[in-house]
Structure 1
């Protein structure tokens, strides 16, 4: 038997304080403070604990440029124990990505880009012949545990003259593979209303808080009826902050309209991690704390809501007998400048900071 380690004086997001004992990577006890027993203990006073954060939209293939990064740099080092690569790879290289992902400390899933070339170039849906049905079906069948959905970037710079046709082909692939779609929205054409019409329950709209002219809100800040209809039929809304896809103004409109906060994701890659405006998952979560969402709502958006979409609710549970999959973080008092994708800067008085994760049987700190 391995050594039993105790993380002492942690605070759950709901307020309760606990000790968590872990042996051989498995949680053996969750007790009131001071009651867990173990050979080694670490005082975690002042830290919160949640199930491991899940980032539903990242770009984690290091050799791709500009949309690439190292898995653990945007994973466990950010407090993220599970990430979903959002379509960096199509059928041509998904196998290599899967093999590479097994070396990381971060748990990795992938959305298969409907274009076989993936993000080898940034107009990957401009040639319809790159949407190779047989290769996509082959890839989905070959990696059923790894591929959790399909990705289609439906904005003008990506589809060029192909218009809405790539999304129609994606819809057909979704029906054949029984995999949901994640659809990136951006500049028109195609119009965002055309995109929404093709989405079904379980599909994901990512970048739903973007500030571009083709966004999901009228000029007066009210949501498009098509957005309300999509949400009502179970289309999932994902933040996908990215370099150009998050607006404080639009996020305030969404909150005022009562649009549910489903999942918060970063759309992080090397450029926006190092140079902003993303920087880290903690930084993106802080923006939603600033917007007035409760800590429980913010953390739910990167734990239970994301795990539910993945169909893996166990990733959001902290219980005895389960592999420890934890994120330790602090909510610090102090001034922090937050910038959105439009250059709008806000000043937060509290900020979230990841302090480490417990994953793969060990504590990992940045």
Structure 2
């Protein structure tokens, strides 16, 4: 479906029914439902429309195993128009990731791994010689239109004997490049109370709802003081579900304590896409619907909130004159079993399912 077409009888998340007329890839008109006209008509009765979903934490470099996948497999084919690769590549391979993105339909941004080898190995910060400050700065200069931040995975299996030092270097590189840091948190050492105080405004804690012993909540489910202090400093909380980093019990406690997300992301790659527990961004969003968050809150986390963090507000809106960047999805009343990273199950009465995206002047069915 190209050129001029209309999405008829679609509804915004607030329930308002509209037609969206798209011409030459741009939104030409937002009309009252049933009154939009185009060369082709897509009947969206019962379908929600939002600005295109943004997944803030994916792994989209297929050459690296186990953490890799094809860009469009975790992008437009899943109803996601923009993905942010979370440090798959360091300075050695970021040119290849950028080249791959030019062949894909999905928009791609990236966090640059501070280790030049990236996820070629899964202990990429265990050897301090793999952190080359000059190569980081050169990569940021060369690919500044794609690189949106720096990535440091700060957990014991990644840093080994390097301890907290890689994060200290990431902090210095952040100051030198004016880029924020996304920090993966996981098993100690380093202890979480060493890690979080080093984060500043706009830095991201990803995996903030993980169920590991070194997490951000105490045994009673109350947030640690370092988390409260970080939120007050303007540190951003990202879900980053992943294979081992999302716990229903922790998420339930966080909601009870009023510790909400800024963005919901998947940490998706081939293995957890095909075999779970992630499967898709829609599946992860369904988990938050089960937890009692409103549809408006959930969709904002993957549209306006993510777009604002990226400094790309146009990606989070539906406005006449903008490039058409849309996700179409339904909310189906059907019981489904949801599984977290701990193997815990919950049963949801509603399921979010994607139907398609509009990007590059084209409607792509999921």
TM-score by length of 1: 0.99
RMSD (Å), alpha carbons: 0.7
Unaligned runs of at least 5 residues, structure 2: none
Q: Can you list the C-alpha shifts for 1:7-45, whole angstroms capped at 9, x where unaligned?
A: 100010011000000011111110111111222111100
1:172 matched to 2:168? The reply is no
Q: Can you list the C-alpha shifts for 1:135-160, whole angstroms capped at 9, x where unaligned?
A: 00000000111000000000000000
Alignment partner, residue 316 of structure 1: 316
- How far the C-alpha of 1:77 sits from its partner, in A, is 0.6
1:73 matched to 2:68? The reply is no
- How far the C-alpha of 1:3 sits from its partner, in A, is 4.0
Alignment partner, residue 121 of structure 1: 121
Farther-moved stretch of structure 1 (31-40 vs 202-211): 31-40
- How far the C-alpha of 1:63 sits from its partner, in A, is 1.1
CA distance in 1, matches of 2:195, 2:330: 39
Q: How does 1:201-240 map to 2 (within 5 A)?
A: 201-240=201-240
Alignment partner, residue 54 of structure 1: 54
Alignment partner, residue 334 of structure 1: 334
CA distance in 2, matches of 1:260, 1:334: 26
Alignment partner, residue 275 of structure 1: 275
Alignment partner, residue 110 of structure 1: 110
CA distance in 2, matches of 1:200, 1:260: 18
Farther-moved stretch of structure 1 (356-365 vs 38-47): 38-47
Unaligned runs of at least 5 residues, structure 1: none
- How many aligned residue pairs are there? 365
Contact 2:3/2:361, CA 8 A, preserved across alignment: no
TM-score by length of 2: 0.99
Contact 2:55/2:84, CA 8 A, preserved across alignment: yes
- How far the C-alpha of 1:86 sits from its partner, in A, is 0.2
CA distance in 1, matches of 2:4, 2:354: 24
CA distance in 1, matches of 2:185, 2:61: 22
Contact 2:52/2:80, CA 8 A, preserved across alignment: yes
CA distance in 2, matches of 1:42, 1:308: 30
SS at match of 2:73: helix
Runs of 4+ more than 4 Å apart: none
CA distance in 2, matches of 1:6, 1:313: 24
Alignment partner, residue 7 of structure 1: 7
SS at match of 2:363: strand
Contact 2:74/2:280, CA 8 A, preserved across alignment: yes
SS at match of 2:81: strand
CA distance in 1, matches of 2:54, 2:101: 16
- How far the C-alpha of 1:260 sits from its partner, in A, is 2.5
Alignment partner, residue 94 of structure 1: 94
CA distance in 1, matches of 2:202, 2:3: 42
SS at match of 1:230: helix
Contact 2:3/2:25, CA 8 A, preserved across alignment: no
Q: How does 1:27-46 map to 2 (within 5 A)?
A: 27-46=27-46
Alignment partner, residue 185 of structure 2: 185
Q: Can you list the C-alpha shifts for 1:220-270, whole angstroms capped at 9, x where unaligned?
A: 110001100000110000000000000000001110111122000000000
CA distance in 2, matches of 1:63, 1:331: 35
Q: Can you list the C-alpha shifts for 1:205-226, whole angstroms capped at 9, x where unaligned?
A: 0000000000000001100011
CA distance in 2, matches of 1:247, 1:178: 33
Contact 2:243/2:277, CA 8 A, preserved across alignment: yes
Q: How does 1:286-301 map to 2 (within 5 A)?
A: 286-301=286-301
SS at match of 1:89: coil
CA distance in 2, matches of 1:254, 1:304: 22
